[in-house]
Amino acid sequence: MQLAAHPHQPDYSPRQNDVLDSALRLLVDGGEKALTTASVARAANCSKESLYKWFGDRDGLLSAMIGFQASKVRTFDDTAETLTAATLQEHLVLFARDLLEVLAGDVSLALNRLAIGQASRDGSKLGSMLQERGRRQIGKRAGVLLEAGRDAGLLVFGDRDDAYDTLYGLIVSDLHLRMLLGEDSGRMVKDFGRRAEKAVSAFLRLYGSEKSSAQS
Amino acid sequence: MQLAAHPHQPDYSPRQNDVLDSALRLLVDGGEKALTTASVARAANCSKESLYKWFGDRDGLLSAMIGFQASKVRTFDDTAETLTAATLQEHLVLFARDLLEVLAGDVSLALNRLAIGQASRDGSKLGSMLQERGRRQIGKRAGVLLEAGRDAGLLVFGDRDDAYDTLYGLIVSDLHLRMLLGEDSGRMVKDFGRRAEKAVSAFLRLYGSEKSSAQS
DNA sequence: GGCGAACCGTACCGTACGGTACTGTGAATG
DNA sequence: CATTCACAGTACCGTACGGTACGGTTCGCC
């Protein structure tokens, strides 16, 4: 397996990044239907010809949008300190809140809708791209946290991916899908804190060692 | 609350049901793009004029497709017997497997993709419809099961919806979304059994009373 | 100043779709 | 037999989109 700090990202110019920003804005508040080449060109004050020169065709533009957005989401590593039962729980709750807020973000929802809409006809190219650049990244952060918890004797699990899968399910359940289907996300954002705490509490009951049973 | 055996379903004629079947077939193996009025008319051997007479417009056809498909999925109630720890677990595993298989179904995936694709522009009309007729129905089955378990002293929970939310998350996690994004569902279907058992086991560890700790 | 590259704005082309109108036909009804 | 109804088949219309071509403008470079 290759390290691939920069797998082969095109790394667009500032001007092109502006265009991609405009396109994302357009997608967010208009859906895919509003994302026509003409409207992108108009919104970004560029010509359609330039769009086709830079991104090849419409699908290239969509791929570029996903790659661009993913490059903006930096998954900071918040490890590197000795974990106690309290700090582990704290970090997990923080992770859960961040995850929920990322999933509820306008751009994330719009891009997921876009990729799902295209899943039937592009061989899930956009879908796997979103999966790779989105969930894998944030999942790595969780994985590091989980293994640190295990190393500190606070968590007990065999397979790390299984544990993360459980954690993810407890945090998100079908909330992501409901938001993708159009349920008003603004109304549920204020419950994210409580939801995160409940999910982490349940997760610790499942995977916490007896050593970490000093929870509220 | 009203009984509402027939809330206000249009209840289409057999001929129209055939048309809806053809439309669903078309949607499943071609995506939304393939679902043009002309192709539906051709596949169903009917005229476009009849389509518009019966369903109003394209959106009406889509709504009818969702309603039609939902009417075919009957959520049988498998309660009505004295629950023991073993039978409760058995019923929960059965429920989990059924849930996973429903979510992985071709038609379910296609309709969810369709509704998600339209969520941005129709005010989530299709989305709430799918939610209401799909998840609410199967959730009711789970709710009955959960309350029966509580009545038998095998489960302990305060809010039934919270418990169901947890159960759902443990069973599904992000698997539904991954399938919607195009990940090959056929490959993971054979793991549904193991997945269902693990999810139910975790759920019972969280919500099972000490009386029900006779698990494998 | 001359020149070429990059690019905007716009006009243009082919196609495909949603929706409507029209004609023909077979079956039921009187 | 005449009338009516429901429908298939098809032609048609307006529009909108993806993609291309072209004239005009700015900017850097020799």
pTM of the model: 0.92
Angle (CA) B135-A110-B134 rounded to 5° is 10
At B3 the pLDDT is 38
Pair B207, B156: CB distance under 8 Å? yes
B63 CB-to-strand C distance under 7 Å: no
Q: What are the pLDDT digits (tens) for B68-121?
A: 999 888 777 666 678 899 999 999 999 999 999 999 999 999 999 999 999 988
Q: Which nucleotides of D are covered by protein (CB under 7 A)?
A: 7-11, 16-22
Distance set, CA B47 to CA B27, B42, B52, B54, B163 (Å): 18, 8, 9, 11, 49
Measured CA to CA, the distance from residue A211 to residue B17 in angstroms comes to 60
Q: What is the pLDDT of residues B128-144, one digit of tens each?
A: 999 998 888 899 999 99
Burial B47-74 (b: 16+ CB within 10 A, else e): eeeebeebbeeeeebbbbbbbbbbeeee
Query: pLDDT at position B149, please?
Result: 96
Confidence grade of residue A74 (pLDDT, cut at 50, 70, 90) = confident
User: Which of the four pLDDT bands, split at 50, 70 and 90, describes residue A122?
Assistant: confident
The backbone torsions φ and ψ at residue A125, rounded to the nearest 5 degrees and listed phi first, read -70, -50
How far apart (Å, rounded) are the C-alpha atoms in residues A203 and B87? 25
Contact across the interface for A174 and B181, Cβ inside 8 Å: no
Chain A partners within 8 Å of B31 (Cβ): 119-121
What is the pLDDT averaged over residues B20-32?
Answer: 97
What percentage of chain B exceeds 70 in pLDDT?
A: 92
DSSP-based three-state secondary structure for A155: strand
Query: Alpha-carbon Rg of chain B, whole angstroms?
Result: 20
Please indicate if any CB of chain A lies within 8 Å of the CB of B135.
yes
CB atoms within 10 A of CB A93: 18
β-strand partners of B208: B155
At position A195, the amino acid (one-letter code) is R
The secondary structure of A1-35, three-state, reads CCCCCCCCCCCCCHHHHHHHHHHHHHHHHHCHHHC
What whole-number percentage of chain B has pLDDT above 90?
A: 77
B215 close to A (CB below 8 A): no
State whether A183 and B121 contact (CB < 8 Å): no
Confidence of residue A12 (pLDDT cuts 50, 70, 90): confident
Per-residue pLDDT reduced to its tens digit, B39-68:
999 999 999 999 999 999 999 999 999 999
Is any atom of nucleic acid chain C found less than 7 Å from the CB of residue B53?
no
A208 strand-pairing partners:
A155
Report, as an integer, the average pLDDT of A120-130.
Answer: 90
Residue B37: nearest nucleotide (C-alpha to C1'):
C18
Pull the structure tokens for residue A187.
């109304």
Residue B101 contacts strand C, CB under 7 A: no
Q: What is the pLDDT, as a whole number, of residue B19? A: 98
Distance of CA A168 to the CA centre of its chain: 12
Measured CA to CA, the distance from residue A19 to residue A59 in angstroms comes to 15
The helix or strand, by DSSP H or E, that contains position A72, with its residue range, turns out to be helix A58-72
